[in-house]
Structure 1
């Protein structure tokens, strides 16, 4: 008897052999202003092998749930983002589209509770498979940040493996894949992950080798250094990409399952007025000012950084001795200091990934690359650089696929085979309902009296809204400008927001 692999699993095996370019998409970028606004149609479906939609969440009933129904579903005149996202496979039939569940905003506690019981895990797994099939996704990305941490329990380390095993069985049976976003920090890896057991159950590990430093500290440092800074001591010697990659491999994860994460954004500080230092470990007790698009203190998209550098002549760019990545600062721009990645550091990191025999590259996230080509002359400069360096060739757009006949017995969510015959549901535009209680508009709505939570508002058939309350994880507050739960010090740095919470 011959064993046939489902088509999407065959596609993942082929793509792993050639190198993956995994690209996360932060769907809330659709609410950003001006040149920062980024919707599904802004995605180039040929520059990434795997596209991951961030995020779905976990409901009180332990079922996977949609976090922004107005944007992501078609019902009640919604914008159909899920279906439009997976329909990108009609342009590139080799593209793999994945739905991520979790993320930083979701916290850890409810995932810990769900994973602790076989029955609630089954509820989550079954509902996830159903949602993926409904919207033609090719797999699930498990982005629990993090087992045993942020309100989790020690038992999470074992329960996480049970969850992954059950997800793998259910997804592979439908021809879908399972990926996971994982920490690069040793102090999180040790308590959270049984690496050999994870290796048995995950198709791709997306190593989040960024946010290693940031404005939650009181000194400058690079958030995604490939190697340690020569003056690093203590736990800082672990906070670099090379250590993380080798630690995962030494712990039992095959190198060929690891996609090395590179940030398409900078972590930024405001240099203290008491110092003239501008290098690593310069005193910086406040986050840098928010950018015009991402609007989150301590954070700038690469598109924001490169536009500032292009339009304002006082930005200095330097690379510290022994390092490969740039940092930039401007005294005229509120003494801002940012660590980030550019073309040259992306080349170095992609070559490193090849030398280490990794599966390929990963980025967070597509909407903060120079996607309009304003700075460098071509769009998605950093993603293209990573993909081309790793693969050794330019990204080319293949000719349109020839007409094929679909096997009626094949899984409905295939990648690398035929063009799906399913088309996104179309809707007739209408004026959103007027403000109604906590809902001022469709989508995400702040509570002006309390920044510890916010509301998801979806129009309903009665001419009003269905509102769902979302609580921000401990240590964060809702940032109404960036549409995320952000670090408390970042939100409070904005001013005139959360006066009671920032007093």
Structure 2
């Protein structure tokens, strides 16, 4: 008697992560206003920094302990599904001192673990911009040693993450990126600031794809290239989170009649060269906006002013890109730069974050 084995194949559904940086020092968005059920982990800026081989709690102009408590309250409001991860910043010299030898790293790691236990944290994020030169190897060594220490205390649930620059030179000079990809849980790839106020022509801060007119090295200044380069260097796709920002750069045009991509500029524009998402969405109500379907970004101009800021449509495109390429998810910089009261009339609060969360099947 012949027996038949029936095999039913079900599609594998990937779960995505959505990290949300939140700067406690920005009072335009208070902790009580933060959205529920949107982010998988929140990365708190402004509570702690590195000092004297220790985790130093910021004391002024506010108490960092209050910031940390506000995030624990946020986690409770989110039914304890949200992971709380403070982002550790510090002066370059403080980082270098903490990394320089096994003794200093050991003391620093002990401080980190004690702090994490005392504050009931779900992970730690490291924002050292940047561990270049000889320190890139020491930073890798530190992460590996910290991973061993964390595993003994917290098991495998405690997350270690870092923010990484997206430019090729920064990646090559400042990280052993493949090695970090083995030890870290997540890499927040800062896919923005590709073009900035230092450029002599208009350019997009966070393009998804290159422009057809770009050649040679300029074709590396986009999200698609940077993410693919990390994969090429050995970083697992599921550990890469693609960055979105609620900021952009402004330029003063050399000639008001020449206002396309790569138009000549004489320097920075409105706001000392910076514009937030809310400022941008209010500006386009008057000036209108222009969608670049190659780069997948919006930009606007008004008289001799030109700006490109991450907005809702561009955020949706990046989320689709994450899914199409099986990356681990996305992250934003940040909650404090979104619209908490629907001032821009998108029909909902925090429209950037909720758009991304929906696209990643989190809402």
**Superposition TM-score, scaled by structure 1 size:** 0.66
Structure 1 position 42 matched with structure 2 position 33: yes
Q: For the residues of structure 1 that align with 2:353 and 2:175, how far apart are their CA atoms?
A: 29
Q: For the residues of structure 1 that align with 2:320 and 2:293, how far apart are their CA atoms?
A: 20
- 2:298 corresponds to which of 326, 333, 338: 326
Conservation of the 8 A alpha-carbon contact between 1:178 and 1:203: yes
Look up the match of 2:77: 91
Conservation of the 8 A alpha-carbon contact between 1:303 and 1:371: no
- 2:88 corresponds to which of 101, 111, 131: 101
Instruction: Give the C-alpha shift of residue 385 in structure 1.
Output: 0.8
Instruction: Give the C-alpha shift of residue 275 in structure 1.
Output: 5.1
Look up the match of 1:482: none
Look up the match of 2:6: none
Instruction: Give the C-alpha shift of residue 67 in structure 1.
Output: 3.2
Look up the match of 2:342: 373
> Size of the alignment, in residue pairs?
345
2:249 aligned counterpart, secondary structure: strand
Instruction: Give the C-alpha shift of residue 342 in structure 1.
Output: 2.5
Look up the match of 2:181: 199
Conservation of the 8 A alpha-carbon contact between 1:143 and 1:181: yes
1:58 aligned counterpart, secondary structure: strand
Q: After superposition, give the CA deviation of every residue in 1:373-430 in whole Å (9 maximum; x if it has no partner).
A: 1111200101111111122x6x2xxxxxxxxxxxxxxxxxxxxxxxxxxxxxxxxxxx
Q: For the residues of structure 2 that align with 1:146 and 1:265, how far apart are their CA atoms?
A: 21
Matches within 5 A, 1:102-501: 102=89, 106-148=90-132, 154-175=133-154, 176-272=158-254, 274=255, 276-290=257-271, 297-310=272-285, 313=286, 315-320=287-292, 322-331=294-303, 335-375=304-344, 376-391=346-361, 395=363
- 1:58 corresponds to which of 20, 25, 50: 50
Q: For the residues of structure 1 that align with 2:276 and 2:206, how far apart are their CA atoms?
A: 14
**Superposition TM-score, scaled by structure 2 size:** 0.90
Q: For the residues of structure 2 that align with 1:187 and 1:107, how far apart are their CA atoms?
A: 21
Q: For the residues of structure 1 that align with 2:216 and 2:92, how far apart are their CA atoms?
A: 27
Between Structure 1 and Structure 2, the one with more helix by share is: 2
Q: For the residues of structure 2 that align with 1:369 and 1:230, how far apart are their CA atoms?
A: 31
1:29 aligned counterpart, secondary structure: coil
1:94 aligned counterpart, secondary structure: coil
Q: For the residues of structure 2 that align with 1:119 and 1:128, how far apart are their CA atoms?
A: 14
Unaligned ranges ≥5, structure 2: 1-12
Conservation of the 8 A alpha-carbon contact between 1:50 and 1:96: yes
- RMSD of Structure 2 on Structure 1 (CA): 1.8
Cα separation, partners in 2 of 1:299 and 1:174, compared to 1, 3 Å:
farther
Q: For the residues of structure 1 that align with 2:36 and 2:86, how far apart are their CA atoms?
A: 16
Conservation of the 8 A alpha-carbon contact between 2:189 and 2:241: yes
Instruction: Give the C-alpha shift of residue 28 in structure 1.
Output: 1.6
1:212 aligned counterpart, secondary structure: coil
Instruction: Give the C-alpha shift of residue 137 in structure 1.
Output: 1.8
Instruction: Give the C-alpha shift of residue 17 in structure 1.
Output: 5.1
Q: For the residues of structure 1 that align with 2:107 and 2:307, how far apart are their CA atoms?
A: 43
Q: After superposition, give the CA deviation of every residue in 1:32-58 in whole Å (9 maximum; x if it has no partner).
A: xxxxx2222221232111000014221
Conservation of the 8 A alpha-carbon contact between 2:50 and 2:91: no
Instruction: Give the C-alpha shift of residue 305 in structure 1.
Output: 1.0
Q: After superposition, give the CA deviation of every residue in 1:427-479 in whole Å (9 maximum; x if it has no partner).
A: xxxxxxxxxxxxxxxxxxxxxxxxxxxxxxxxxxxxxxxxxxxxxxxxxxxxx
Conservation of the 8 A alpha-carbon contact between 1:369 and 1:383: yes
Instruction: Give the C-alpha shift of residue 300 in structure 1.
Output: 1.4
Instruction: Give the C-alpha shift of residue 321 in structure 1.
Output: 5.7
Instruction: Give the C-alpha shift of residue 117 in structure 1.
Output: 1.1
Conservation of the 8 A alpha-carbon contact between 1:324 and 1:345: yes
Q: For the residues of structure 2 that align with 1:238 and 1:215, how far apart are their CA atoms?
A: 18
Conservation of the 8 A alpha-carbon contact between 1:288 and 1:336: yes
2:121 aligned counterpart, secondary structure: coil
1:326 aligned counterpart, secondary structure: strand
Q: For the residues of structure 1 that align with 2:150 and 2:350, how far apart are their CA atoms?
A: 31
Look up the match of 1:23: 20
Q: After superposition, give the CA deviation of every residue in 1:184-223 in whole Å (9 maximum; x if it has no partner).
A: 1101001212122112210011110011111121211001
Look up the match of 1:468: none
